Chains A and B, each alone.
Chain A
């Protein structure tokens, strides 16, 4: 019945018809464009500003914002329908709840890709304008070329965003509360380093199965051994298990839930 692409289209309309979405994208673009300029003009000798260095710092800062905005979209995806009451009209169409949830999730991922692209394009162009030489950036201590190193760094940041967004999506679907979803996701985003430091896998064997230990994958760009001696493969496996649990819980709860609000 019908066409699944139409469902994704519907979800996209809901995301991009809201002014809020555009404000978030504009803020992200402006921030990404602003940072390289800031680095350029605040450095003691602007002629030493290096492209890759400037761009990498911009990405690492802007990605916080990118994650927050994606979490905001993720949190509203399901919880919004409940608080608006529109869930009642959405779920009485000839579509299974699984497919409706899937269309929501896909539109969320599409948004995160768009916002990441905005971040990269504005950040890179601005870094090109406000730099004097290309430089090596963080790649100086590894075998990667600066472009490769930067790209892989973005990939690591995106993986972190991806898992955080999945968590927000789950909380949104389970608790139908967007505030809780945003709060919890941001808490984990900022507290994960502290938690990983307290429950360090060096001290506690079980800590290497915690999600916090593995959310930041950037370390693997420089060394093969991660926290507690785990490998990149192990870290990815742990993340994948958590991700699957988040998705499974979202789907099971959403499918079974009595909609009576």
Chain B
């Protein structure tokens, strides 16, 4: 798989970014390029420095050392030009509760050039708020506020969409919809999405690449699709069987796991092993590939500490 990150100019570059408050270092020497047209995950346990990093990217807090370029412009020295390329939700999407969703969007629409009523309706359609957009925000559920938050971030067609823990408070259906329209945005409008989360499984489903941060330090950047394709052919396969010990003896290979037998096998081997078990009188209830999830890798990388 060719690495596009090296040939295309990154949408955002974090260069040796450090944030210190007093003697405490929240983010330490973070260097990271976010390539365009991707959904880029930012993964780390709570308190790892994700939100601090995002706050620096959007200019809400100062950068102690280093710099951040958004589309080539420094957020420190050319804030207005740099931030014009960003749409963001930082933490919870807080809105003016005494205004309607629509009036809230009008607020943000007025602050950027070229956002007309048509665009507002377009965005409202995209996030699926429908007629509720004309209700006061104080009547909204958390999920609806989250949608409104995404809508305000998308109004001005930003090149970079930054979402801090966007799945917080969404129900499974909402999470799925969010995933779908982030994917659509990324593919149809070429928007780069930078999304932080401590929900590993969520990242795995959503992102193309993921940067892992712990204790304010960048630990690893992984391309998820690449990781997946490496694992699948030589993956571990779990046979759920009636009598694991007998199955293990029959197969002559593998280990006992989760009330079944885990064997390293490819497609053809799986069929043969299955036949062996069935003819040997062991009932097979299920066969599934145990691809190592991001969660396992994440726990491995971060040493399994400080999660949650």
Say if A and B assemble together.
yes
Residues of chain A touching chain B, judged by Cβ–Cβ distance below 8 Å, are: 1-2, 6-7, 9-10, 13-14, 17-19, 84-86, 88-89, 91-96, 256, 258-260
User: Is the C-beta of B91 less than 8 angstroms from some C-beta in chain A?
Assistant: yes
- B60 and A13 within 8 A (CB): no
Complex Cα gap A91–B86 (Å): 12
| Cα–Cα distance between A188 and B107 once the two chains are bound (Å) | 35
Contact call A91/B60, Cβ cutoff below 8 A? yes
Pick from A86, A92, A260: contact of B95, CB under 8 Å: A86
Given contacts A2-B113, A10-B110, A92 and B94 within 8 Å (CB-CB): no
CA A7 to CA B81, docked complex, whole Å = 18
A interface SS class: loop
Look across to chain A and name the residue whose beta carbon is closest to the beta carbon of B113. Answer: A2
Q: Are A258 and B60 in contact (CB under 8 A)?
A: yes
| B contact residues around A9 at 8 Å (CB) | 110
Interface string of B197-230 (1 = CB under 8 A from A): 0000000000000000000000000000000000
Indicate with 1 or 0, residue by residue over B91-107, a CB within 8 angstroms of chain A CB atoms: 11111111100010011
| Known contacts A88-B60, A92-B88; A13/B94 CB under 8 A | no
CA distance A93 to B110 in the complex (A): 10
The verdict on B181 contacting chain A, using a C-beta distance below 8 Å, is no
A260 touches B55 (CB 8 A): yes
Q: By the criterion of a CB under 8 Å from any partner CB, how many residues of chain B are at the interface?
A: 35
Contact with B61, one of A1, A96, A259 (Cβ below 8 angstroms): A259
Residues of A within 8 A of B107 (CB): 10, 13-14
Task: Return the chain A residue nearest B109 by Cβ.
Answer: A6
Q: Hey, which chain A residues are within 8 Å of B98, CB to CB?
A: 17-19
Other-chain residue from B21, B93, B99 in contact with A17 (beta carbon distance below 8 A): B99
CA distance A93 to B106 in the complex (A): 13
- Cα distance A92–B21 in the bound complex, in angstroms: 22
What are 13 inter-chain pairs, A to B, with CB distance below 8 A? A2-B111, A2-B113, A10-B110, A17-B98, A86-B94, A88-B90, A92-B83, A93-B111, A94-B112, A95-B80, A96-B79, A258-B61, A259-B61
Q: Is the CB of A94 within 8 A of B61?
A: no
Interface contact B84-A6, CB-CB below 8 Å: no
* Besides A6-B111, A13-B107, A85-B92, 4 new A-B residue pairs in contact (Cβ under 8 A), listed by A number: A13-B106, A14-B107, A17-B96, A17-B98
User: Which residues on the B side are within 8 Å of A84 (C-beta)?
Assistant: 94, 96-97
The answer to whether B59 has its CB under 8 Å from any CB of chain A is yes
B62 engages A258 (CB within 8 Å): yes
| Residue ID in chain A nearest B19 by CB atoms | A258
Chain B, residue nearest A99 (CB):
B80
B96 cross-chain contacts in A, Cβ below 8 A: 14, 17, 84, 86
Cα A84 to Cα B137 in complex, Å, equals: 12
- Which residues on the A side are within 8 Å of B111 (C-beta)? 2, 6-7, 10, 93-95
